[in-house]
Each structure stands twice: as structure tokens, then as C-alpha cells.
Amino acid sequence: MSHLAEDQVAAVLRQWIGTTTPKLLGEGMEGAVFEVDDSRVAKIWFAGSVESSRRAAAFYDALAAKPLPFQVPRITQVESVGGRVVTIERRLTGTTVAAALAAGAVSREAAYTIVVDIVAALAAGGGLRAARELAVLGEVAPLFNTGEGFPVALARLAERRVERFRQVLSGAVADFDRKAAALTSRLVEVDSGRRAVLHGDLIPGNILVDASGRPSAVLDWGFLTTEGDPAFDAAVTAAIFDMYGPEAAQIERDLLDRIEARLGYDRGALLVYRAAYSVITANAYDPTGQDGHFAWCVAALNRADVTRALLG
């Protein structure tokens, strides 16, 4: 694996895995997941703290108490081993929507229904104070200041990212300074006032389905998980279902159409949230803007419909 050699993994996980050959189940930007047994997995985090993992555990416990039609992770143990944070978590079963799509076990239309159903379920579930305690995008402090509303907290996050990456972004996005300035006021204007838990990264790879194709679990909360306007999560979900495929633009439009019809969200508001996500995450993986995610975000910020939503 890219961050730890197998023998290092075995040393870190020795007290749980009982083997010198740990089985890797998956690896993302934030950590790697290994099998412990039939009911548990261990996640070695590449960064972060015991404190942040304990906040995540409290969040998962609160989220699991909601009447959601799918399971969520549960952290049962948080440890610091050899300078690495390790969490022991309940093992969730199923096949990712991404794998089911690739295997032909789930049609694209069925996958659309799955993700829109999950967005709708989260929107109907209402807000959650524990979600407001989470930090996003690797920041140390929670997204929200005391007493702050979602549009202001999101705008402050965008402003921090603009300040940090302005030179890179302004060189790639037409009229960037004007768009960045407009974003703050537009976020206040489009906010619906509704509040829900936002996943922030509902890609097909983070959704598990059972043998019948029904959603069984939603994984990997934390990248941009918070409490806020559910229309933000809807806009992000439509955008990231297929980011780089040849039909990506059409898939985003298809999902936005279904979200509008199902949930009644305004297309202009969804596009403002699309712009906010693009500004916020453009440099999440490469501060110099040399990766595909940056190019994808820039392309959205240069789109005519997104520009109209921001500037009128």
C-alpha cells in the first residue's frame, strides 16, 4: 500500500488481526481498511487525531439513532498505535453501487433511484447537532462557529480556500475574483432554511447494496460531512456520480432533473451549491492544481449555467 508497508500494518494491527498478513479491504485518501473478522474492520488513518476520531464515533452513534433506511458505520474503539490513529469499526456488508453497475447487477436507472432515495432519506431525517461538531477537508476546528448558520459557515470555508489557493484558481477560472465574491451572498440567498445531515461524498463507491439491489449501508462519512441545507448534498451527489466518464455531463443533468422532480429543489440553487463545492474542493488533492479533480472543478466554474447562477 502507498502509506504503510505490510509489515508495518501488521505491527500496528497485531492486537486485533491475529495474523502477519493483514487483508486490505479498501484504501482511500484518508485511510486504509483491513479485515479483523466477520463482524469488525480496522481502519488505519493517514492523518487526524484520536480526538477527531472520537468526535466521529459520537457522530455515528447519533446518526445511527435516526430512522434511516440503511446502516452507517459504528466506531467501537479508538486507539493510537505507533503514531497512527486506528479505529475498530462494525463491518458493513454488501456490494458497492459502483461494482454492481460494472457487473451489470444494477442498471444505471436503478442506481439513480438508489442515490436519490438516499438523498431524500437524509433530507427527511432532519438536522443533527453532532454533525455540526465535525471538521471538514482535513481542517482541525469544526466547520461551524458557535451560533453560526450553514450559509455563513460554508461561505467562510470557501473564503479560506480562496485565500489559500487564489493564485492557482484565478489563473484557471474566468472572472474568478468576481465569482468568488458573488458566492458569499448567493449562498445566503439560495439557502432553503431546511437542515439535514450532509454526507458530502455520496459517490457510488460509498453506497452498499444487498443481493436484491436495495441500499444496505452508506460508508465513508467525514470528507465534507456536516449539517446544512440538503440541497447542497443533492447538488454534490448529482455532480460526483460520474465525474470523468464520457457521459458525465448528461448523468449530472439526469440526476438534477430527478432531484428537482422528487424534492422540489431550485435548479439555480443547486448550481450555486455546485459552484461552492468546486471552489471548496478544487485543491483538495493537489494544491498546485495539476490533477483531474482540479480540472473538473474549474470546468464547472467556467460553465455557462454555473456562471449565470452566480452572476445572473
> 46, 35, 28: which is closest to 13 by C-alpha?
35
Mean pLDDT of the chain: 95
pLDDT band at 1 (very low <50, low <70, confident <90, very high): very low
Tell me the per-residue pLDDT of 164-182, one tens digit each, with 9 for 90 and over.
999 999 999 999 999 999 9
Environment class of residue 123 by beta-carbon count within 10 Å: exposed (0-12), middle (13-18) or buried (19+)?
buried
How many CB atoms neighbour CB 194 within 10 A?
16
Separation CA 4–CA 6 (nearest Å)? 6
Q: What is the pLDDT of residue 6?
A: 84
Cell numbers standing for residue 125: 431525517
Q: Is the pLDDT reported for residue 131 higher than 70?
A: yes
Count CA atoms within 13 Å of residue 141 on its CB side.
8
Cell numbers standing for residue 248: 458525465
Count CA atoms within 13 Å of residue 217 on its CB side.
20
Q: What is the pLDDT of residue 174?
A: 98
Terminal C-alpha separation, the chain: 47
Q: What is the pLDDT of residue 230?
A: 98
CB 154 within 8 A of CB 232: yes
- Locate CATH 3.90.1200.10 in the chain: 95-311
**Mean pLDDT throughout 257-274?**
97
DSSP string of 104-130, one letter each residue: TSS-HHHHHHHHHHHHHHHHHH---HH
Q: Is the pLDDT reported for residue 111 higher than 50?
A: yes
Tell me the per-residue pLDDT of 16-29, one tens digit each, with 9 for 90 and over.
988 888 999 988 77
Find all residues with CB under 8 Å of 80, minimum gap 6, and list them: 50, 86
Length of the chain: 312
Separation CA 266–CA 271 (nearest Å)? 9
Separation CA 48–CA 25 (nearest Å)? 20
- Locate CATH 3.30.200.20 in the chain: 6-90
Q: What is the pLDDT of residue 235?
A: 98
Architecture field, domain 95-311? Alpha-Beta Complex (3.90)
pLDDT band at 211 (very low <50, low <70, confident <90, very high): very high
Tell me the per-residue pLDDT of 63-88, one tens digit each, with 9 for 90 and over.
999 999 999 999 999 999 989 999 99
Give the right CATH number for 6-90 from 3.30.200.20, 3.90.870.10, 3.20.20.70, 3.40.50.720: 3.30.200.20
> 105, 63, 102, 57: which is closest to 214 by C-alpha?
105
Q: Is the pLDDT reported for residue 268 higher than 70?
A: yes
Q: What is the pLDDT of residue 28?
A: 78
Tell me the per-residue pLDDT of 24-52, one tens digit each, with 9 for 90 and over.
998 877 889 999 999 999 999 988 899 99
Is residue 196 within a helix (H) or strand (E), and if so which, with residue range?
strand 196-198
